[in-house]
Every structure is written in structure tokens, then in C-alpha cells.
Structure 1
Amino acid sequence: MITKRSSGEKWFDAGNVTFLFILSCVTLYPFLYVLIASFSDPAWIVKTRGLILWPQGFTLDTYKLVFQNPSILTGYINSIILVVAGTSLNILMTSLGAYALSRQNVMWKNPIMFGIVFTMFFNGGLIPTFLLVNDIGLLNSRLALILPVAMSAYNLIIMRTAFMGVPVSLEESAKLDGANDFTVLFRIVLPLSLPVVAVMILFYGVAHWNAWFNALIYIRARDLYPLQLILREILITNSTDSMMTGVGGGDKMPVGETIKYATIIVATIPVLCLYPMLQKYFVKGVMIGAIKG
């Protein structure tokens, strides 16, 4: 039976849609501004004030300058290595911990969980962490950006909650057939928990891709800088001179501005490409941790 909607409900829906549309435009426009500016004539961008809705003097010169900069390419390679290696280790460690803490016959499970949750509120701090990383010989290496963040307590709780939703009867049947805990985890539990695994890949991958602070603290060699640290250097310290070789003196300033925009787009595109691939799992994976205790 279809219930006729009142005029008040229709007006409410119309107002709600209008408000959300305006909010979406306000949220999306800064990214569109950067995208449009990166393809526009640098001199026009410097002179223009206010909204811009399409490129003026369309050019790809700034992107050519960005990709000709060896620091950008090196940063890209370093970031990809960190994302692949770091996310793989994160998923492995988180799934192992979540599986162990989601089983019913594990001793000291509650005290261990309390200790893990405790780290979400209290930690050693920056200086003790730096001293630890230095003492174990990880300073100025990629491992310094991977091992200290090998597991997130928040993500562990989400994955543990998802694993607790897998029927115990499946585990019991597998063990009757001779399967051990590793077989149960990798051939039964993880395939049945693909939504939450996809969300963990997204969370960890984006965190590694956007990370720059740990690299700023632990990395000294420029050839190990991730892309975000290069981007920070460009945006904050105005270090665009190395990309403007051959550009006339009067043109350096406007070209430097559009180089910043182009670098932001180059650093953002991989994350934007990752989201659509995992979107269908995202809501379900997040809600698993929200509706179950």
C-alpha cells in the first residue's frame, strides 16, 4: 500500500536535497579549483580573484615540469613501496590479532583487549618513540615508517568484531577435517570477511599514502622521502625553483603557483582511484564494527 505524502514532507525533502546539494558543492569546489587552476595559464591564475569554473589558456606545461622533477618521481616510488609493504603487513598483523582475540577459548583475552584499548588513550610520546626507533637501528630506513605503525588498535577492534560474526560451527567443522588455525583464518574467516578486509586496506593504504610526519622525524636521506613529504616541502617552503629550469625570470612566480596545484592533483589521484574499487564494501565493512558489541 502506497501512502500519500503530505505537502510538508515534500517541502522537507526538497529543502533537505537543496541543503545537501549546496553542502556538496561547497565541499567539492576547493578540489575543482585546484584541478582547474592546474590546467590554466599561470599568469591568468595569478591575476584572477574569486570563483573559476573552467580552465583559461589550457596548458599541460605545469604537469610536464612536475613529472620532470626527479624528487616527485622518487617520492612516488617511495610512497608506493610504503603503501604496498605497509598495508600488507598491517592486514597480516591485524587479522592474526583479531582472529586470536575473537576465539572463545583464548586465555587472558579480556586483559589483552584492555591493554590494546589502553594504547588508544595513552602512548609513550614522540621522544621515547624516536629513541626506541633509533636504538633498534631503524632510523633513516623505510622500516621506520612501517614497523612502528604495523597495527592500529581501532582497526583491530573493527576486524575482531567482524570475525566474531563468523559462525563457530564453520571453524569446528574445519578442525574436524584436520584444519589448523592458520587454515581456518586464511581459507574460511578472511574470505567470509571481505568487506571489512577491504575497509582495512582502504584505511591503512590511505594512512600510508598521506603519512608525512614520521618521515619528517625518522628519514634524513632525500632519496627515501615519500611523496607527501615532497609535497609539504613544495607547499610550505616554496621549493619550486628546481622545477622551473628554463622558465623566464618574470614567469617564475606564476608558474610556481600552478606547480603547487599540479603537485596536489598528482598526489591525490591514486587515492581517488582507490575509493571506487572498494566503495561497495565500505559501508558494510564500517557498519560491522558499529552495530555489534
Structure 2
Amino acid sequence: MTESPPKPSRLSASTDWLRGYWRDHPKRSLETFGRQITMGIQAIAQLFGDLFRGKFPFGEFIKQCAFMANVSALPTLVVAIPLGVVISVQVGSLVGQLGATSFMGAAIGLGIIRQGAPLVTTLMISGAVGSAICADLGSRTIREEIDAMKVMGVDPMRRLVAPRLAAAMLVSVLLCGFVVFVGFLATYMFFIFAQSGTPGSFIGTFAAFAVANDLIVALLKSLIFGLLCAIIACDLGLNAKGGPGGVANAVNAAVVQSALLLFGMNVIITQIYNTLFPSQAV
């Protein structure tokens, strides 16, 4: 009689499971992160090199700016107005309970500029702009257009990635400024007509506490958000595999990764700014 092969021990089975888990999750995550860092450095170097040499494709840049603004402007407007109203209601209720209604303009305005605008920009950049970039490049990848460009001697980094990088940064800054304007206007109108506030107290307290650095930091945040979102979306789009289903998975991954990273960066930048430039009492 032939003896049956020995059954694997629990230790070897656990070891095999750990190896498979490491290969499928942490290892792939580290490889993706390293690939995105490498591509980001190359894309930034390519962008500034092309601008310095006068070889930057401004036609593609303008086309991408128009495309990104088209897919993100209306959703940004739709989100910015309710955000301003919600902040007015919540902050107004709290300030009213504390008996400091005269400082409502400062509280609401600074809330919009410092946190509201960057957070809305994060959602729009990751959800609208990032997904559009990833879907565009992913569809080109599965149609083998990227390989055809490389065969013809056209560098995809120069022709496709660098213009999208610059366009995403510019559109992000513009979106942040748009959210600041719309959100502040919405809170002002709601404070005046719905909460029976006085325009002078709203503008006066806001001007007393707000500084130019608040707006500069918000715009700087949006610039960094656009850069990071474009790098993630371009990387996942150029490495999409598996046909249309692979493009859908890449778009989903781009949105999730961008949102998580941008929210984390918002916290880090905010803490650094508050540490270096603490608020001064008036």
C-alpha cells in the first residue's frame, strides 16, 4: 500500500497565508507608492525642464484646464453653497449660546477659508478631476495608445502627464478661490437674511481676525492637492490592466487613494501652520 502524503502543519499553512497576504497587500502597496513617488519626481522635472526649454505643450495644457474646469466647476458650486449655510447654522448656534454673536463673522469666515475651502477642494479634486484623468489615461492604456506613442518616439511623460500635472495644480487653486468666494458670500447672505445679523459686525470681526496668510495657506494647500491627485491619477491610469474593468478599478483606486492622502495632507499642513503661526489675540 502507498502511504498518503503528510498533511501540512498549521505552522506551514500560516506561513503560506502570511506570504500570500504580504505579496497581495503590503508589498503591492509599497510598490505602488514607490512607483508614484518616482513618477511624480520625473513628471515635475519634466514639467519644469519643458518650461525652461520652451517645449511645454501649452495646447494640451489649455485643453486639460478647460476639461478639468468643466467637470468640476458646477459640482463645486453645488457643494460650496450648502457648506456655507451649514457652517453658518452650526457656528451661529454655538456662538449664540456663548453670547458672542458679535464675533460670528470671524468664526464663520475663518472656518470657510481655513478648512471649508480646502476640504471641498479635496473632494472635487479627488472625485471629479482625479477620476477624469485616470479614466482618460486608462482608456488610452488599454487601447495601446501609450505603447504606440513610445514606439513612435513620443514621451508620454512630456506629452500627457506634465500638462495634466500643471493643469490640475492651476485648476485646484482656482477651485479653492472659487469656494472661498462662494462660501463666504453664502454665509454672509444667510447671516444677514436668515439670522437677522448686521453686515457691519460680520465684516468688521472678520477683518479684525483674518490675515492674508489664511488665504495663502488655503491656496497652497489646493496647489499641493492638485499635484498629488494628478500624480496618483496619472500613475494608476498608465498602469491600468484588464480591459474596461481594469480602468474602472483604477478610477476607483485613484479616487480612494487621493481622498485619503489629501485629507491626511490637510491635517498635516494645518498643524504645521498653526505651530509656526499661532493665532494672535486681538
TM-score of the pair, normalised by structure 1 = 0.36
